[in-house]
Amino acid sequence: MSICYTADERPDAPTIAALYTSAQLRRPVDDLDRIARMYAGSPVVLSAWDGPRLIGILRGWSDGAYDGYICDLAVDREYQKQGVGRELLERCLAASPEVQWVLRASVIAADYYAHLGWRRIENGWAWERNV
C-alpha cells in the first residue's frame, strides 16, 4: 500500500459521496450538488489516495491565524485503523500551528480523538440545520 497525501486536489462530489458511504459518515450523499457546495466553501481540504482511489479526506474552515473548525474526517472502511485519519489530522495541524482547531465528532467516532491527544471541550453551542 502506497498512500499519497495531498492538499491540492479536490475530488469530485460522487467520489466524496462514495467515501462518506464507505466510512459510514452521515452526510447528504444523495445530494451531490450539496456535497459540491460543501467543498467549494471549504478552504481546508486534505485527501489521502491509494493510487487513483480516494481513501481519506479532511474538510475544514480556518482563518489561518487563530481559529479553525474541522468539518469532516472520513476514512474508507478498508483503510481504517491504519493511521490515515491520524495523518490527515497531523498534516492539518502542522500546516497551521497558530490555529486552535475544534471539531464535532460523529457518533461512530466519539472516542477516536482522545487517543490522538485532542481534549474534550464542553463550552460550545450548536444551531442544528433544518435539512
Q: 80-126 pLDDT, tens per residue?
A: 999 999 999 999 999 999 999 999 887 777 788 888 888 988 887 77
In DSSP terms, which residues pair with 53 in a beta bridge? 50
Cell numbers found for residue 130: 433544518
Decide if 123 is inside a domain: no
Decide if 128 is inside a domain: no
**Cell numbers 466519539 correspond to what residue?**
110
What is the CATH classification number for the domain harbouring 43?
Answer: 3.40.630.30
Decide if 131 is inside a domain: no
pLDDT of residue 94: 95
Decide if 122 is inside a domain: no
Decide if 87 is inside a domain: yes
Decide if 104 is inside a domain: yes
Give the chain's domain count: 1
Three-state DSSP at 59 gives strand
Cβ–Cβ < 8 Å for 68, 102: yes
The string over 50-88, giving b where at least 16 C-beta atoms fall within 10 Å of a residue's C-beta and e elsewhere, is beeebbbbbbbebeeeeebbbbbbbbbeebbeeebbebb
- The H-or-E segment that residue 41 falls in is none
- For residue 71, pLDDT over 90 is answered with yes
The residue range of the domain holding 56 is 3-116
Decide if 126 is inside a domain: no
pLDDT tens for 14-70 read 999 999 999 999 999 999 999 999 999 999 999 999 999 999 999 999 999 999 999
